[in-house]
């Protein structure tokens, strides 16, 4: 089966990695992974063909689309993307068009998605099934229901199936989307999409990092890196002042972290033998199995990594909307998870958080939360393609 999988990440990397896990689970199929954001340094499975659109992104204030290539005008990039998607469909003639988030989000990309959806509906590429791949919690809109009405109309007109990547015992879509009763197409909960670490990898990871058996490792991550600078700085400064014996800090700024700020932090770490600063770890779930505690932003993927590795963790939800805090609070009802706020970024509070985490034990994995969303999604996608 041939599947075109569209994923447009605009700020962080969560959308990219969640989509990649679903594509990975479609291991016996031909997947064309269409991305319109900056590609992280991540190796793809052999069955996944990467197709890069001219890049578009947003800043942390979501102030509008900006080309990732500073030399191009926005209208030029949009026209180029529309044409490239059209040619891709003409050449590939897919069985499935899997779209991440839209129409529940990514309204700014209607310019390229609606034309191709109209062409699919008109039968120009044969019998193509259209599926929406959706996370657990949405960013709510205060527009009197206009967004939800438009979303449902688009969903019912163009789509054949909605996959919700959540365990309903944790988060149900109707908590942040009030128009569920108006959805006319089939929908189902797949469980959370989670990256799974390799088994029995802790010793290997610690050897690679030079962590001895009597040392502890704290990992700090800012996800993609476009937000999270204040968290990184707070942990860096507090950890340096604590100067805990036989404890090391590995700080991952994210691939999209400002280069000048990264250079400053990297330079500062060179005089501190127990602190290492890097941009990105492509095997992050494996890395966490070798660590003893983690402090991070609270994105979807990070929360799933906490669930799969059971690592003692503290998370700082993104303050721009309530999605991350809502998810973290729900998970904290089932696992031990410290949820931070901006008041915790001072040295006193952060030192306490670091010390508490490093003296905590790994939690039990018997939380019973469904983390098989990738495999379940792959099964439903293939079933839809055969209808």
Cα(153)–Cα(38) distance, rounded to whole angstroms? 30
Q: How confident is the model at residue 60 (pLDDT cuts 50, 70, 90)?
A: low
Over the stretch 226-247, which tens digit does the pLDDT of each residue have? 788 999 999 999 999 998 999 9
Q: What is the Cα 96 distance to its own chain's centre?
A: 22
**HEC states along 166-183?**
CCCCCCCHHHCCCCHHHC
Question: Does the pLDDT value for residue 54 go beyond 90?
Answer: yes
Residue in 252, 219, 234 with CA at minimum distance from that of residue 340: 234
Check residue 298 and give its pLDDT: 92
Q: Which long-range contacts (CB under 8 A, 24 or more apart) does 115-123 make?
A: 115/82, 115/86, 116/85, 116/86, 116/89, 117/158, 119/86, 119/89, 120/89, 120/158, 121/157, 121/158
pTM above 0.85, yes or no: yes
**Token duo for residue 253:** 């700024």
* Contact by Cβ (8 Å): 132, 160: no
The structural architecture, per CATH, of the domain 2-193+371-385 is 3-Layer(aba) Sandwich (3.40)
**Token duo for residue 43:** 């190796």
Least confident of 52-61, 180-189, 255-264: 52-61
Cα(373)–Cα(387) distance, rounded to whole angstroms? 21
CA count, 13 A, side-chain hemisphere, 229: 12
Phi, psi of 100 (to 5 degrees): -80, 125
- Percent helix, strand, coil in the chain, to 5, is 40, 20, 45
Over the stretch 180-193, which tens digit does the pLDDT of each residue have? 999 999 999 999 99
Residue 370 DSSP SS3: coil
Say if strands 338-339 and 2-7 run parallel, antiparallel, or are unpaired: unpaired
The structural architecture, per CATH, of the domain 202-358 is 3-Layer(aba) Sandwich (3.40)
Residue with tokens 């495999």: 375
Residues of the chain with CATH 3.40.50.2000: 2-193+371-385, 202-358
Over the stretch 20-40, which tens digit does the pLDDT of each residue have? 999 999 999 999 999 987 777
């Amino acid at each position: 089966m041939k599947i075109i999988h569209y994923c447009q990440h605009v700020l962080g990397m969560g959308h990219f990695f969640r989509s990649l896990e679903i594509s990975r689970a479609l291991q016996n199929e031909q997947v064309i992974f269409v991305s319109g954001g900056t590609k992280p340094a991540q190796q793809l499975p052999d069955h996944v063909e990467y197709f890069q659109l001219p890049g578009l992104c947003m800043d942390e204030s979501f102030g509008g689309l900006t080309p990732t290539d500073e030399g191009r005008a926005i209208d030029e990039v949009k026209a180029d993307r529309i044409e490239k998607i059209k040619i891709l469909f003409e050449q590939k003639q897919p069985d499935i068009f899997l779209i991440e988030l839209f129409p529940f989000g990514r309204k700014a990309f209607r310019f390229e998605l609606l034309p191709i959806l109209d062409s699919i509906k008109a039968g120009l590429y044969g019998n193509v099934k259209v599926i929406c791949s959706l996370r657990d919690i949405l960013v709510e809109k205060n527009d009197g229901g206009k967004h939800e009405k438009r979303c449902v109309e688009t969903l019912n007109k163009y789509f054949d199936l909605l996959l919700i990547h959540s365990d309903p015992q944790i988060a149900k879509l109707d908590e942040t989307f009030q128009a569920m009763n108006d959805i006319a197409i089939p929908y189902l909960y797949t469980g959370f999409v989670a990256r799974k670490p390799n088994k029995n990898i802790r010793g290997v990871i610690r050897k690679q990092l030079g962590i001895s058996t009597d040392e502890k490792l704290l990992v700090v991550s800012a996800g993609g890196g476009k937000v999270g600078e204040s968290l990184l700085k707070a942990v860096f400064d507090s950890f340096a002042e604590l100067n805990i014996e036989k404890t090391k800090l590995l700080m991952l700024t994210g691939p999209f972290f400002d280069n000048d700020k990264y250079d400053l932090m990297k330079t500062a770490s060179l005089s501190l033998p127990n602190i290492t600063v890097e941009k990105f770890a492509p095997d992050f779930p494996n890395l966490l199995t070798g660590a003893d505690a983690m402090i991070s932003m609270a994105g979807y993927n990070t929360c799933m990594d906490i669930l799969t590795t059971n690592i003692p963790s503290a998370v700082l939800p993104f303050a721009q909307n309530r999605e991350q805090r809502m998810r973290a609070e729900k998970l904290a009802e089932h696992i031990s998870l410290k949820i931070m706020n901006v008041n915790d970024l001072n040295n006193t509070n952060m030192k306490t958080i670091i010390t508490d985490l490093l003296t905590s034990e790994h939690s039990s994995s018997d939380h019973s939360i469904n983390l098989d969303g990738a495999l379940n999604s792959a099964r439903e996608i293939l079933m839809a393609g055969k209808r």
